[in-house]
Structure 1
Amino acid sequence: MIVLGVGASHSTLMNTHWEQTSAIDEATRFRDGLAEARRRIADAAPDAVVIVGSNHFRGFWLDLIPAFTIGVGECVASGESGTPSGPQPVAVELARHLTERLVEGGFDPAFSARLQIDHGQSHAIQYLLDGLDVPIVPVVVNVFAPPLPTLARCAELGDALRATLAKRPERVVVIGSGGLSHRLPWPDWRDPHGDDEEFMVSAWLDGRTSWSSYDQRRRAIIRAATSAINPGFDQEFLTLLKAGRSEEICALTSERLESVAGNGAQEIRTWLIMAAALGHAPADVISYDPVPDWLTGMAVAVIDPVIDPVIDPAFDPAFDPARSPA
């Protein structure tokens, strides 16, 4: 059974550029929000944690990009930018059961018995599972190599996870890692422009056995990017989450989501899967702040399937993608 859901932004710049962050109060609130979410996870006493995260071209490459992949055996973290490195404990029997039931239900996820993950999952391991002896079920969602799975399909995956886990004896926490609004200097791989974009696509295609050799320049390209956070969009999304109406985000196409909130906002698919797995119960938004030095709107939210938080009706507008400021 699912006992808790957590949505949390991630940024490796927490590890590598904390002292250089000009928005230190905002960064501290985010870090403290992660600590509070970790406390709630510990209190929930899970037997396993399903971590739904994105791929940043360190585990999957343009030679093969599934929409959804479940780790069902070995799981190795890349260890980039001070995130956890090496083998991670996997709840293998649960992962394989989930995969089998999803296939039987007509969902058809990919699976990997030797999965490499990056900070899309390992950031959550580092901060949300710190010191907790609990195995994971890693779920990787394609959010950066179009065509992407639709938001509606992601919600359906969350629904399927909920239905399957409800019948299991394990106490399970579901984490959605990624987002919120941000724009990375990453091209559409199908149509790169200029040297930097050509370099990025080359790294995504050829980096499977040598990703670290591309990392210095790739990191420099990211650090040189201009922040493009949309707090208005972020607040609307968090409003939906608080109101238990997160499925309304499915009204957006991938193209509209990117135009409003940046290509990095495609990662809210991980939050949507988590929220759907929790039955779209109302969330407790612990923290939200734009952190320009990290390029991202940074948020932490928790969904308790038993105790619903108080919802402020004054902070509950109907979601209107057309109204969200670009």
Structure 2
Amino acid sequence: MPGEIVLGVGASHSTLMNTHWDQTRAKEEATRFRDGLREARDLIAAARPDTAIIVGSNHFRGMWLDLVPAFTIGVGECVASGESGTPKGPQPVDVPLARHLAEQLVDGGFDPAFSARLQIDHGQSHAVQYLLDGLDVDLVPLVVNVFAPPLPTTARCLDLGAALRAAVRSFPDDRRVAVIGSGGLSHRLPWPDWRAPEGDDEEFMVEAWLNGRGDWSRYDTRRREIIRAAPSVITPEFDAEFLHLLETGRTTRVGWLSTADLEREAGNGAQEVRTWLVMAAALGHAPGRTLAYAPVPDWLTGMAVAVIDPAAPEETRA
């Protein structure tokens, strides 16, 4: 039988779970989010996927300003950078499916970049660490540019998810596929627009983003100091509305928001919701279910976990 998408998961990520758990003051909220990740992991295990398409961002540890495609598919080797206690080293890639997806997207009018030796960071490896823990699942990594403007539009990300859905279904071999969107929700990072940095910290960040290829760890200590010193700006109202749209199968409405709209309403880090939009569209915008939501100021982020199970009775999804 052909390829089949059996589950969708959206999940926030934060390496501070690994490095600063003991210092996290909102421990009840953080625990609620961590428990949501575990529940999602169990649901993935129950769905028995062969492969997980992990749609995530890249925090300039695997891609740099020397080349920033809107969308990049890993079609060969995949290596995780291993920052902050996340998985490090080679990851198992479903090469036949990855190459099929790349070809079908091109045939369908998209122009994704592809990499036969892709380096990912916690934008995808956080999901590997927590959502695929102990599971024998291959990957197809798909990186969405959410940090180096100009960004792909939210509408284009919805179109990409729909194209992925069709491409998986056209795969000629039996393949059970989970789609994971990793990132968001609301948060503000102390990251500049690379085109107009202001002050020493922002100029340092842009230098790291431009020159980090092969040497990203040299910049990492100061990068994390800058991030740790940033004030927390979380917008629970935006997060609640976004999750409600996911639960009711209306995530297409987010496609009306521009990059400027998202930043104004939920911070520059909320640009990562594009990964959730790709996932939701790949699941045909079926109604979903929120497993956990917690604003965690020490992690700077509105942390959420949600699932879309196309096989679940509709009345049990939301």
TM-score, normalised by the number of residues in structure 1: 0.95
Deviation at 1:167, TM superposition (A): 2.7
Separation (CA, whole Å) in 1 of partners of 2:96 and 2:170: 14
Question: 1:105 and 1:6 mapped to 2: Cα distance?
Answer: 25
Residue 134, structure 1, aligned to residue 134, structure 2:
no
**In structure 2, distance between residues paired with 1:213 and 1:301:** 35
Partner of 1:219: 224
Conservation of the 8 A alpha-carbon contact between 2:308 and 2:317: no
Instruction: Find 1:228's aligned residue among 224, 233, 243.
Output: 233
What is the root-mean-square deviation of aligned Cα atoms in Å?
Answer: 1.1
Query: SS of the residue aligned with 2:240?
Result: helix
Q: Which amino acid aligns with 1:41?
A: I
Structure 1 Cα separation of the partners of residues 289 and 235 of structure 2 = 21
2:11 matched residue in structure 1: 8
Measure, in 1, the Cα distance between the counterparts of 2:283 and 2:35.
24
Are the aligned partners of 2:5 and 2:179 in contact in 1 as well (CA < 8 Å)? yes
Partners in 1 of 2:273 and 2:316 — Cα distance? 21
Deviation, 1:309, is: 4.7
Q: 1:57 to 1:192 in 2, by over 3 A?
A: same
Counterpart AA for 1:105: G
**C-alpha distance after superposition, 1:215-253 (max 9, x if no partner):** 000000000000000000000000000000011001110
Distance in structure 1 (CA, Å) of the matches to 2:10 and 2:272 = 11
Question: Alpha-carbon deviations, 1:126-160, whole Å to 9, x = none?
Answer: 00000001110000000000000000000000000
> In structure 2, which of residues 289, 294, 298 is the aligned counterpart of residue 293 of structure 1?
298
| Residues 1:201 and 2:195 are matched in the alignment | no
For 1:107, which of 92, 107, 110 is the aligned residue? 110
* Amino acid of the structure 2 residue aligned with 1:250: G
Residue 275 of structure 1 corresponds to 280
Could you say which residue in structure 1 is the equivalent of 2:121?
118
User: Any runs of at least 4 consecutive aligned residues in structure 1 with deviations exceeding 6 A, and if so which?
Assistant: none
Residue of structure 2 equivalent to 1:154 = 157
Q: Which of 41, 51, 54 does residue 51 from structure 1 map onto?
A: 54
Do structure 1's residue 41 and structure 2's residue 50 form an aligned pair? no
| 8 Å contact kept, 2:287–2:317 | no
DSSP 3-state at the match of 2:315: coil
Instruction: Give the Cα separation in 1 of the matches to 2:313 and 2:222.
Output: 46
- Measure the CA separation in 1 of the matches of 2:290 and 2:183: 15
Cα distance in 1 between the residues matched to 2:106 and 2:258: 26
Fraction of identical pairs, as percent: 74
Instruction: Report the equivalent of 1:64.
Output: 67
Asked if structure 2 preserves the Cα contact closer than 8 Å seen for 1:284 and 1:309, the reply is no
Which of 260, 264, 269 is the matching residue for 2:269? 264
Q: How many residues align?
A: 313
Q: From the superposition, tell whether residues 215 and 260 of structure 1 become closer, same or farther in structure 2 (CA, over 3 Å).
A: same
CA contact (8 A) 1:243 1:311 kept: no
Aligned mates of 1:43, 1:258 — CA distance in 2: 36
2:62 match: secondary structure: coil
- Aligned residue number for residue 241 of structure 1: 246
**How do 1:84-99 and structure 2 match up within 5 A?**
84-99=87-102
Cα distance change of structure 1 residues 191 and 308 upon mapping to structure 2, 3 Å threshold: farther
For residue 307 of structure 1, report the CA deviation from its aligned partner.
1.2
Is residue 180–residue 297 contact of structure 1 (8 Å, CA) maintained in 2? yes
Amino acid at match of 1:96: R
Q: 2:167: which partner in 1?
A: 164
1:3-57 Cα offsets, whole Å, 9 max, x none, are 0000000000000000000000000010000000000000000011000000100
* Aligned partner of residue 189 in structure 1, secondary structure: coil
Q: Counterparts of 2:119 and 2:313 in 1: how far apart (Å)?
A: 36
Give the secondary structure class of the aligned counterpart of 1:310.
helix
In structure 1, the residue matched to 2:77 is 74
10, 23, 27: which one pairs with 1:20?
Answer: 23
Aligned equivalents of 1:256, 1:271: Cα separation in 2: 17
Unaligned runs of 5+ in 1: 314-326
Q: C-alpha distance in 2, partners of 1:106/1:95?
A: 17
> Which residue identity lines up with residue 21 of structure 2 in the other structure?
W
Kindly indicate whether the alpha-carbon contact (under 8 Å) linking 1:281 and 1:308 is maintained by their aligned counterparts in 2.
Answer: no
* TM-score when normalising by structure 2: 0.97
Structure 2: how far apart are the matches of 1:244 and 1:307? Answer: 14
* Alpha-carbon offset, residue 310 of structure 1: 3.4
The Cα of 1:271 is off from its aligned counterpart by 0.2
State the Cα deviation string for residues 93-136 of structure 1 (Å, max 9, x = none): 10000000111111110000000000000000000000001110
Following the alignment from structure 2 to structure 1, what is the Cα–Cα distance between the partners of residues 37 and 317? 23
